[in-house]
Copies of this chain bind each other. A is one copy, B any other.
Amino acid sequence: MKAEDNGRPRSRRLPREVRERQILDAAVEVFAARGFHNASMDEISEVAGVSKPMLYAYLGAKDELFIACVRRESTLLIETIGGAAESDLPPVEQLWRALRVFFEYVQRNRAGWTVLHRQTNSQGEPNVAELVEWRERAMVLIAELLARATDGSAQPMQPQQTEPFAAALAGAGEALADWWVDNPEHTADGLAMRLMNMVWMGFGDLVEGRTWTPAE
């Protein structure tokens, strides 16, 4: 209970902004480690070095706190990726950069990513409307990217048609990010490259008319 129990000095009377950050950091950490339900406000406040009433004063109820976490992390991720994939580059290049910074982001911010990722496939956690929304927007962007990449090919596609590919791509990316945890010897670049090679090339084949069909 003494000041420095968790390495963070429990200094008093900090400006609101800083306190809020401290709390969010702690919350992300705990939510990532325990999951939404098993994370207790007690533990969060302890890790944050702040009393519970402060938690509530600054970031509201548990749901709201969780949403704030998700929001912060998703914003960060969006901006990171958005910054990398400038829209005047060719589609391939955009995709490549997006994947690369995605893996870099995950590497740099494992806890944040865990919270984001888990929130995505979970009925039990509070619904972060924006996140769902954003996720869909991201899908649409990827789908459009893929669609635009088919322009001038033998088999041009509408974004609507590329949607399932976008979903699959995103899923593959997330799965790789998960797999990475247990195989840390790989680099962000290496993983992004593998993904490009598998998905992008396959997709390219498809639009060029080289398709696979079952034997019968």
Instruction: Tell me how many chains of this kind the complex includes.
Output: 4
The A145-200 residues at the B interface (CB cut-off 8 A) are: 163-165, 167-176, 178-179, 183, 186, 191, 193-200
Q: Is A93 an interface residue (CB 8 A)?
A: yes
Do A175 and B170 form a contact, CB below 8 Å, given A206-B197, A206-B201, A211-B197?
yes
Q: Which residues of B contact A171 (CB under 8 A)?
A: 171-176, 178
Question: Quick check: A34 and B215 within 8 Å, CB to CB?
Answer: no
Q: Select which of B38, B201, B211 is within 8 A of A205 by beta carbon.
A: B201
Q: Which residues of B contact A117 (CB under 8 A)?
A: 121
Q: Which residues of B contact A32 (CB under 8 A)?
A: 123
Question: Quick check: B164 and A194 within 8 Å, CB to CB?
Answer: yes
Q: Lowest 5 A-B CB distances belong to which pairs? A: A171-B175, A35-B124, A202-B202, A167-B179, A37-B37
Q: Select which of B114, B167, B206, B211 is within 8 A of A175 by beta carbon.
A: B167
Q: Is A66 an interface residue (CB 8 A)?
A: no
Taking A37-B38, A172-B199, A202-B202 as known contacts, 15 extra A-B pairs with beta carbons closer than 8 A to each other, sorted by chain A number, are A38-B124, A164-B186, A165-B194, A168-B194, A168-B195, A168-B199, A169-B172, A169-B198, A172-B172, A172-B175, A193-B213, A196-B212, A198-B198, A204-B205, A205-B205
Q: Is A96 an interface residue (CB 8 A)?
A: yes
Q: Which residues of B contact A194 (CB under 8 A)?
A: 164-165, 168
Question: Quick check: B168 and A172 within 8 Å, CB to CB?
Answer: yes
> How far in angstroms is the closest Cβ of chain B from A33?
7
Question: Quick check: B178 and A167 within 8 Å, CB to CB?
Answer: yes
Do A121 and B123 form a contact, CB below 8 Å, given A175-B167, A197-B205, A211-B201?
no
Q: Which residues of B contact A210 (CB under 8 A)?
A: 201
Cβ contacts A to B, 13 pairs, < 8 Å = A32-B123, A35-B37, A35-B124, A38-B123, A118-B121, A122-B122, A165-B198, A168-B194, A169-B172, A171-B176, A171-B178, A172-B175, A197-B202
